[in-house]
Amino acid sequence: GTQIAQQVDLKKNLFFFVCQGTRDYNPKQMAIREKVFNTIISCFKRHGAETIDTPVFELKETLTGKYGEDSKLIYDLKDQGGELLSLRYDLTVPFARYLAMNKITNIKRYHIAKVYRRDNPAMTRGRYREFYQCDFDIAGQYDAMIPDAECLKIVHEILSELDLGDFRIKVNDRRILDGMFAVCGVPDDKFRTICSTVDKLDKMPWEDVKKEMVNEKGLSEEAADQIGEYVAVCVAGGMDLAERLLQDHKMSQSKQACAGLSDIKLLFSFLQLFQVTDKVVFDLSLARGLDYYTGIIYEAVLTQAGVAAVSNEAQNGANAEESVSVGSVAGGGRYDGLVGMFDPKGRKVPCVGVSIGIERIFSIMEQKAEASAEKVRTTEVQVMVASAQKNLLEERLRLVTELWNAGIKAEVMYKKNPKLLSQLQHCEESGIPLVAILGEQELKDGVVKLRVVATREEIDIARTDLTSEIRRRTSEA
Amino acid sequence: GTQIAQQVDLKKNLFFFVCQGTRDYNPKQMAIREKVFNTIISCFKRHGAETIDTPVFELKETLTGKYGEDSKLIYDLKDQGGELLSLRYDLTVPFARYLAMNKITNIKRYHIAKVYRRDNPAMTRGRYREFYQCDFDIAGQYDAMIPDAECLKIVHEILSELDLGDFRIKVNDRRILDGMFAVCGVPDDKFRTICSTVDKLDKMPWEDVKKEMVNEKGLSEEAADQIGEYVAVCVAGGMDLAERLLQDHKMSQSKQACAGLSDIKLLFSFLQLFQVTDKVVFDLSLARGLDYYTGIIYEAVLTQAGVAAVSNEAQNGANAEESVSVGSVAGGGRYDGLVGMFDPKGRKVPCVGVSIGIERIFSIMEQKAEASAEKVRTTEVQVMVASAQKNLLEERLRLVTELWNAGIKAEVMYKKNPKLLSQLQHCEESGIPLVAILGEQELKDGVVKLRVVATREEIDIARTDLTSEIRRRTSEA
């Protein structure tokens, strides 16, 4: 039933009312969204972040040259006179623009907002053209790998608290990738485009990735095979893999790769102190598409529950080989050059950050909510002001005013003479726990009949005690 | 100093980095914004509203024909293949589209989101091209004027709680305006455009409004003068004015006007029960530009503090004539036909709602915050984990992990060997109340030195008692 209803809704979205790849949130979905946001924001605040906001559109030139091959997915606004504008593609570039514009060299901030990509929507799998990102970034000149490790700690905390099943955080470093490309014989000017192809390894088998490198990107077969040896063979590990690669006769020829590998080792030592190595793997095949990364990169994926047990190499990082990924839910990395691109003098501000992509998380939470018997409340109303008799509209409005003025969340039916039954039904449907019932007799006696919806118990309460009684009965213990 | 800095910032916004008429929010502004939102959301929830969200862009055709002369201010997206899209101009049309699409006939919802208008920005007065609206609407077939009155109660509560100085809520009814136009001899097909001109009365003197009616809109001089008698002479009042107009020999010839005037009387009787008549005036000159209103309309304006005392005709509505308006901060009305425009069978859902325009409110709150001595905190960090000696990075990371895992909001400096002074300075600057200081001796003794930043008091706390001690000292009493 639900399955069919959803398909019909999707059809309506696609062909009639709203733009392809976008959706409305109904009150139930909003209640779930609020819960997810609260968990994420609490974590960001626990780590001392401030928050900022930026406009939904940026000057087109601000976004130009930042996203590599993904630039074609940027939404432009129509030229209606004035500046050329584009919808933001992520929150990282606007953040870098904000830092340069305000000459800020030190900040730890979070930003939760919608971003826009003209991608092929796959809404059943939580891929939309308008979607939320929850970003946490640390800008400033600090000692190596400490802020980077905190970003991973944050991903670990959020995914654990949301209780979405098992997950894995893959880590790599652009310097290691670049070093590897160099020692495998990739020409310098092909680093970024080959990196984009390596990024597809989580969706395509190695053979297809190799084909793209050789046939489309014009890489020599030999270089491709050498890359294959690294990314397809010694994929995932922990500190031990970093150590092994540092000993590797070819890899050790690249200064860049060695710097990256040493930092991976340092990172893991901090991750041990942060108690998160159980979920983190050093994965040579992780590339990430965006152009602006300069150091460490990472991506968190949910692993299909039950498919594979997590091997707990708590000291060295876990082994991800057997588990099946069901999709990325967070990603990020270090981008030390981006702020400088917006500064007239090119002054750099080192940055590292993480972006939680919550649409997939929403999908999972929604499925969970549907599966559970518990009803999601969409309002917080404490009491309904009702009457059993006719001609008491004025008295109901007077009482509900008293309650509102005292800060009680209260509702009244917008009818002159509503039936008591329909007033009670509304309470049942929307989970309102109490009803304050007025009648001629109660008014004469200066009392209100307070009914507990769940038990149908009714007690007369002196009008002067009503607000405190409602508060007492609806306070969350 | 602040004044000059702000102008420089504005210049930068306008000519260099961000789109004209938009702005970034820095952490301090975000802290103020959060406070304003909390007040508004609490009020909406107190009145039992659910919340929804809709995409930032709609199909272009969804917005077509809904905004009258303001349609030229709609932002369109560039045609990059696929559907033609526009940025939302308000939250009301997307709400109506949502109701029709989901066949909802009953809902009380709020929606807080940004909307977009290609207007001339006047940022110093809080007018932007990207700005927030906070909307509360009641959809459903109910008895006359009860939901309408609740919307005004909500405006009254919010503006009172935000403590922005005195305000006035002007009320009128489209049926009264249309009836007045009819009895004054305005041709039917000119109602909407003449209404737009009347709407300018708060910015232009009557003589200019008359000129526009006669010269631009082609109205007869005689009809214009008759309108002038109503809107420029008997402008503002309460129930008494409605009664007087019901007796007016010309006005009483229009059935529409009489229905509107009777409803104004009914509305004021509910407003008395809601205890809000002190700020509400029935104002014949209020027109509001948008096409979709069908009944009651209203607008709240802040009145310059001190310029005029509010006359307290608490039973009949206040008299606004002497006070000077400094700008509209809320507006709304009844739109019974809008949902039907999206329904294939034209099925109507009566709606009434209000939109709080908070940019002006932000401006005022920001000025207040600047003027006050109190420092706005932008984080909630409870404790900084610090050390006085070198080589304690690992110990600091271990301790901050303990605190994070216990739910304490804590920070640590991202340096191997930070100076104690710089760690303490950071606490002073960002208002962190406590510092947990580690040293060789403390580690040996299993204690942490807890320093209270304000008093410089230092006490040794057993490591096992640290989290509860921090919680005790930073809980808001």
Task: Name the closest residue on chain A to residue B39, using Cα atoms.
Answer: A407
More confident call, A362 vs B308 = A362
Mention every residue, 6+ apart, whose C-beta is less than 8 A from residue B296.
Answer: B145, B148, B171, B172, B173, B174, B263, B264, B267, B333, B334, B352
Task: Find the farthest-apart pair of alpha carbons in chain B and give their distance in angstroms, rounded.
Answer: 96
Question: Which residues of chain B does CATH 3.40.50.800 include?
Answer: 383-474
Rounded to a whole number of angstroms, the distance from the CA of B234 to the nearest CA of chain A is 30
Query: Are A16 and B101 a contacting pair at CB < 8 A?
Result: yes
CB contacts of B404 in chain A (<8 Å) are 46-47, 153, 157
Q: Which CATH architecture has domain B2-371?
A: 2-Layer Sandwich (3.30)
CB contacts of B114 in chain A (<8 Å) are 56
Q: At residue B321, does pLDDT exceed 70?
A: no
Taking the alpha carbons at both ends of chain B, their separation in whole angstroms is: 37
A305 in contact with chain B, both atoms CB, cutoff 8 A: no
Q: At residue A45, does pLDDT exceed 80?
A: yes
A80 in contact with chain B, both atoms CB, cutoff 8 A: yes
What is the reported pLDDT for A16?
Answer: 55
Residue with tokens 């069978």: B345
Report DSSP letters for A69-136, one per residue: GGGGGPPBBP--SS--EEE-S-SHHHHHHHHHHTT---EEEEEEEEEE-----BGGGTB-SEEEEEEE
- Domain B383-474 sits in which CATH superfamily? Anticodon-binding domain (3.40.50.800)
Q: At what angle do helices B174-183 and B255-273 cross, to 10 degrees?
A: 150
Instruction: Return the CA Rg of chain A.
Output: 28
A410 in contact with chain B, both atoms CB, cutoff 8 A: yes
Query: Are A404 and B54 a contacting pair at CB < 8 A?
Result: no
Residue type, A278: D
Choose, out of B11, B12, B20, B26, the residue to mutate when testing the contact with A (most A CBs < 10 Å): B26
User: pLDDT digits over A200-210, tens only?
Assistant: 887 888 999 99
Q: Phi/psi of residue A471, each to 5°?
A: -60, -45
Query: Are B101 and A17 a contacting pair at CB < 8 A?
Result: yes
Question: Which residues of chain B does CATH 3.30.930.10 include?
Answer: 2-371
What is the reported pLDDT for A125?
Answer: 66
A90 in contact with chain B, both atoms CB, cutoff 8 A: no
Query: Are A78 and B83 a contacting pair at CB < 8 A?
Result: no
Nearest residue to A277 via CA among A151, A146, A145, A153: A153
CA distance B31 to A258: 44
CB contacts of B27 in chain A (<8 Å) are 50-52, 107, 109
Q: What percent of chain A has pLDDT over 70?
A: 90
Choose, out of B39, B123, B404, the residue to mutate when testing the contact with A (most A CBs < 10 Å): B404
Sheet order of strands, A383-387 included:
A410-412, A383-387, A434-438, A447-452, A458-462
Q: At residue A39, does pLDDT exceed 90?
A: yes
Q: What is the mean predicted confidence (pLDDT) over A173-178?
A: 95
Task: Name the closest residue on chain B to residue A273, using Cα atoms.
Answer: B398
A458 in contact with chain B, both atoms CB, cutoff 8 A: no
A270 in contact with chain B, both atoms CB, cutoff 8 A: yes
CB contacts of B25 in chain A (<8 Å) are 52-54
Query: Are B19 and A48 a contacting pair at CB < 8 A?
Result: no
Query: Are A401 and B275 a contacting pair at CB < 8 A?
Result: yes
A54 in contact with chain B, both atoms CB, cutoff 8 A: yes
Task: Name the closest residue on chain A to residue B431, using Cα atoms.
Answer: A48
Mean per-residue pLDDT over chain B, rounded: 88
CA distance B179 to B188: 10
pLDDT range class, residue A4, cuts 50, 70, 90? very low
* Contact indicator for B296, B271 with CB cutoff of 8 Å: no
Across the interface, of B24, B109, B415, the residue whose CB is closest to A143 is: B415
What is the reported pLDDT for A376?
Answer: 86
More confident call, B299 vs A64 = B299
Structure tokens that stand for A33 in this block = 């969204």
Binding annotation of B for L-histidine = 90-92, 117, 133, 137, 288, 292-293
What is the reported pLDDT for B233?
Answer: 65
* Contact indicator for A412, B147 with CB cutoff of 8 Å: no
Q: Phi/psi of residue A320, each to 5°?
A: -100, 0
Q: At residue A152, does pLDDT exceed 60?
A: yes
Query: Which of the residue ranges A49-63, A275-289, B188-202 has the most confident prediction, judged by mean pLDDT?
Result: A49-63
Query: Are B130 and A56 a contacting pair at CB < 8 A?
Result: yes
User: pLDDT digits over A327-385, tens only?
Assistant: 789 999 999 999 999 988 889 999 999 999 988 898 888 888 888 877 889 999 999 99
User: pLDDT digits over B408-432, tens only?
Assistant: 999 999 999 999 999 999 999 999 9
Q: At residue A199, does pLDDT exceed 60?
A: yes
CA distance A441 to A434: 20
Pairing of strands B325-334, B296-303: antiparallel
